[in-house]
Structure 1
Amino acid sequence: MSRKILLALALFLTTFNQLATGQGRSKFGGRYTDPFGVLSVTAGVGVAYYMGDLNDGVNLKHLGLGPSVSLGALYRLTEHVSARGELRFYQVSGDQKYSKNYQNNLSFKTFNPDINLGLQADLFAYNRQAPINPYLFGGVGVTYLSPKAKLGGTWYSLPELTTEGVKYKRMPLVFTGGIGVSVKTTQRLSVGLELCNNFVRSDYLDDVSTVYPNPDQLPSDIARALSDRSSEIGEPLRQPGWNRGSAKSKDSYLFFQVRATYLIGNRAQAIERKKTRCPKF
């Protein structure tokens, strides 16, 4: 009797293991695919929004939105989690004439690349093949700072001018986090929406952070003109040490994108597709 019980238990455990590891059909009713190594490519396009020293809240009339584009890939690790990497480009701008600190009259525009790596966690498992799948993601990367300002019809690169008397790092770390939703349109293609915030480990995305420097210590007349622009609107020049920005909080930029994800698959899926192809005559 005990031998029969042990055999029945062994059979049960074997069957359960086959179901759990996906041999045959998955618990969602379809054929199970080992998710590890499944590769997808992604692309996104949308808008970017700047948050920093040159704005003091959301001004719907002057959002300073710019374009954002991204290209990347997802490498699936588990049923719910994928490694994620992206190369992105974004443009943002800001102008103090639309803020409560209008008297400083500072402005900037920047077009920057960034690259980041992280993880994406889907709400529904890969083998469930859910038609709508919300997800969260986070990561870390770097961006290249290239703020510019316009003076007399000419755009000048600001980092080299050291408008606050400081040489800052132009490739700071960026921590990214956000939320999205993807909608399956075909077996391989999904489209969706994504919102993410990018926290820069620098306060110089806009070239503004601390206080006005001593103008005599700046390298050129152009640097002095772009460091203190208050006289352009009839305001007195700022005194050295007066607040030009606030270093209490770092700058950030927000993305809102429409995204597409194309499933490439893994080696096992490629072999399976070859087996099911019709023979050539």
Structure 2
Amino acid sequence: MIRKYILSIALLLTFFQNAAIAQGRNKFGSRYTNPFGVLSVTAGLGIAYYTGDLADGVNMKHLGLGPSISLGAQYRLTEHVSARGELRFYQVSADQKYSKNFQNNLSFKTFNPDLNLGLQFDLFSFNRQAPINPYIFGGAGVTLLNPKAKIDNEWVSLAPLTTEGIKYSRLPLVFTGGIGVSFKTSQRLSLGVELCNNFVNSDYLDDVSTVYPNPDQLPNDLARRLSDRAPEIGEQPRQPGWNRGSAKSKDSYLFLQVRATYLIGNRMQAIERRKTRCPKF
């Protein structure tokens, strides 16, 4: 009886061991890799789109699109979750002559960097090696505001001029959320498409937020000209206190990017590769 009992336990252990080994292999036949610490580098290229006080609807004549570029890395935490960080650059613009508030004649263009840290949640596990893997992500970071406007054929930085009589922070927080899908093209390289919205904790991405100030409170003539540009198109000067923008909602910018992710591996894999390249005799 004892011998049969031991034999049954041995067979059961063998079964579970074989099951574990089978689960430790993905559909391509490679062994299970501990996902924690697996490092990848990322790069993205696409377009950026602005929403704020100077865009009161989608106008196909002037979408204000600009380029967006991102460089970053992903550090895998679990089968489904990765930490991600990116340095990104984007350009957006808007011009009220294409909007229902054309009479105000305000416009801007900006090229800004931002730094973002967050988490990515993949639908399929890392070891499944799915050829198509949708994901969602979210994060937070900062961006450097540098709105400019063109006057007398020159681009002038608006923030130092305090065109609304307010000195605002040029380094606001940004909260990011989005979706994407990656397509595995090789064992290490994946290509994909990603859409994300970036909510700025400021209403001054475009240098427009509240009301027209008293011109006497502005620092110089250039600030007064850029604060109220209605006279340039024959409109009457705006009175102090009239709406220049709306502080009810803050600005945001959206990215649509094509992205590449290259898997470097983890520390143990790097050690094994070095052993393979440099055998000891």
Change (3 A) 1:97 1:9: farther
> How far off is 1:165 after superposition?
0.2
Cα distance in 1 for residues equivalent to 2:142 and 2:18: 44
Residues 30 and 127 in structure 1, CA contact (< 8 A), matched pair in contact too: no
* Residue type of the alignment partner of 2:155: W
Cα distance in 1 for residues equivalent to 2:23 and 2:256: 40
Aligned residues: 280
SS of the counterpart of 1:69?
strand
Q: How does 1:84-99 map to 2 (within 5 A)?
A: 84-99=84-99
Change (3 A) 1:271 1:11: farther
Cα distance in 1 for residues equivalent to 2:265 and 2:113: 28
Change (3 A) 1:3 1:55: farther
SS of the counterpart of 2:249?
coil
> How far off is 1:26 after superposition?
3.3
Change (3 A) 1:237 1:14: farther
* Residue type of the alignment partner of 2:244: R
* Residue type of the alignment partner of 2:127: N
Change (3 A) 1:241 1:25: same
Change (3 A) 1:121 1:19: farther
| 2:260 aligned with 1:260 | yes
Q: How does 1:229-244 map to 2 (within 5 A)?
A: 229-244=229-244
Structure 2: state its 5+ residue gaps. none
Q: How does 1:147-162 map to 2 (within 5 A)?
A: 147-162=147-162
| 2:17 aligned with 1:26 | no
**TM-score normalised according to structure 1 size:** 0.92
Change (3 A) 1:103 1:279: same
Q: Which residue of 2 aligns with 1:113?
A: 113
Cα distance in 2 for residues equivalent to 1:140 and 1:65: 23
Structure 1 window deviating more from structure 2 (95-104 vs 29-38): it is 29-38
* Residue type of the alignment partner of 1:224: R
> How far off is 1:269 after superposition?
1.9
* Residues 167-204 of structure 1, C-alpha deviations (whole Å, 9 max, x = no match): 00000000000011111111111111110000000000
Cα distance in 1 for residues equivalent to 2:32 and 2:276: 16
Q: How does 1:62-77 map to 2 (within 5 A)?
A: 62-77=62-77
Residues 74 and 85 in structure 2, CA contact (< 8 A), matched pair in contact too: yes
Change (3 A) 1:12 1:225: farther
Q: How does 1:166-205 map to 2 (within 5 A)?
A: 166-205=166-205
| 2:249 aligned with 1:212 | no
Cα distance in 2 for residues equivalent to 1:231 and 1:135: 50
Change (3 A) 1:15 1:176: farther
| 2:139 aligned with 1:145 | no
Change (3 A) 1:78 1:11: farther
Q: Which residue of 2 aligns with 1:221?
A: 221
Cα distance in 2 for residues equivalent to 1:196 and 1:18: 43
Change (3 A) 1:156 1:25: same
SS of the counterpart of 1:91?
strand
> How far off is 1:47 after superposition?
0.6
Residues 212 and 241 in structure 1, CA contact (< 8 A), matched pair in contact too: yes
Q: Which residue of 1 aligns with 2:133?
A: 133
SS of the counterpart of 2:261?
strand
Cα RMSD for the two superposed structures: 2.5
Runs of 4+ more than 6 Å apart: 1-7
Residues 19 and 27 in structure 1, CA contact (< 8 A), matched pair in contact too: no
**TM-score normalised according to structure 2 size:** 0.92
Change (3 A) 1:16 1:172: farther
* Residue type of the alignment partner of 1:163: T
Structure 1: state its 5+ residue gaps. none
Change (3 A) 1:130 1:24: closer
Cα distance in 1 for residues equivalent to 2:92 and 2:153: 19
> How far off is 1:215 after superposition?
0.3
Q: How does 1:239-250 map to 2 (within 5 A)?
A: 239-250=239-250
Change (3 A) 1:3 1:140: farther
Structure 1 window deviating more from structure 2 (193-202 vs 261-270): it is 261-270
> How far off is 1:268 after superposition?
2.0
Residues 181 and 193 in structure 1, CA contact (< 8 A), matched pair in contact too: yes
Change (3 A) 1:3 1:145: farther
> How far off is 1:272 after superposition?
3.6
- State the percentage of identical aligned residues: 78
> How far off is 1:31 after superposition?
1.2
> How far off is 1:115 after superposition?
0.1
